[in-house]
Structure 1
């Protein structure tokens, strides 16, 4: 039996993201999500999850989308002239100061906790925590808050194991873009080794707000359609796949 976490990233990004992810949880195979605490729909989304008694919600640590959660003057190396996060890693990385990274990301975690919920795990937008420097900062926070952390690449997986930070045995980001299909989901799971696997997904009900914020928008509807499909749910049952959240590892 494989233990599978289907984690929906970008919760809180827009109302359509929230509604799509909640539909994926209620009607499909989505078992986990991570919240962008700097986005305007984050708190509303968390209340939706609370009303469902949903336990596997973590923090989608963010340095490349939207505005920071701290005043710009406290983290000046992380923001552009409009006091917004740089949208591209190539713009951010030459300028960032790691002490400011830690300060901002810690605040994102604290904001989640202040909603009255305990985060189930951490991951990051655009996988920023798999890069040197930020990886060590995020691992430090995961250890401090006693939270599992997505590994995203093999180097990060090894680092987490060496530092006794809980992560999954397998991770896949391949259910994405042109690879968004039921067959691709099946291939990911059939090829995964035994143990726990996290599959990253981005379902949403696409609206104009999402289209204006994210270059990855149209495919989110296709992801949602597949994740709630009877065919996929039945296949999971046939293959004796156990769907779990990060709160179960």
Structure 2
């Protein structure tokens, strides 16, 4: 049997993301989400989740959006002159102090745990945990907190597997941009053999605030429409695919 995790990234990024992700989880096929706990809208996101009975989620570890939870004095290599994360991985990596990375990422996980929700897994904004140095830190934290980790590529998957860290058999980031179509979503699911599959998504209601925050915006609304459509729900049921979240990897 195919077991499918549809994860919505960027919970907490903006009001439109928060509302869109909640709707996609309650009325669509999204089974999991990861929160950007450092973002100003994260508190509202968690409150919305609790109100609709969502009791668990992952953390979208963030080093390239917004501000760190720790002061700029504590993590000077991670921030620009304004105390904000660098927005591009290529800018961050040559400057990064790995001890500061571990302190900040641990702070993000601990801040999430204060919400009382169960931590299911870790992934990261712009997949920063696939890069050498950061990958080892995130793996260390995953083992410490006993959670699963997304694998953005086969190299990361192999590394996680050797350490005994749970991850899915397959992962796709191809439901994105111009490829965020109903037919492509079906194609992605059908191309994988039996096993566990994670598909990364970004559903949202798009407004001017979201457009100002993220260059990936208009297509988020298209994703939301597809992920909550009757057609995709009926197709998944017809294909005999089991929808799970990352807790399902423990079984």
Q: Which TM-score applies when normalising by structure 1?
A: 0.98
Matches within 5 A, 1:1-249: 1-249=1-249
Count of equivalent residues: 249
How many angstroms does 1:53 deviate by? 2.3
The answer as to whether partners of 1:55 and 1:247 remain within 8 angstroms in 2 is no
- Contact kept, 8 Å, 1:31 with 1:56, in 2: the verdict is no
Secondary structure, aligned partner of 1:37: coil
Q: Distance in 2 between matches of 1:247 and 1:53?
A: 16
How far did 1:43 drift? 1.5
Q: Which consecutive unaligned segments of at least 5 residues does structure 1 have?
A: none
Superposed CA RMSD: 0.8
The alpha-carbon deviation at position 56 of structure 1 amounts to 4.1
CA contact (8 A) 1:9 1:33 kept: yes
CA distance in 1, matches of 2:38, 2:231: 36
Structure 2: gaps of 5 or more residues: none
4+ runs of 1 displaced by more than 2 Å? none
CA offsets per residue over residues 10-40 of structure 1, 9 Å max, x none?
0000011000000101111010000001101
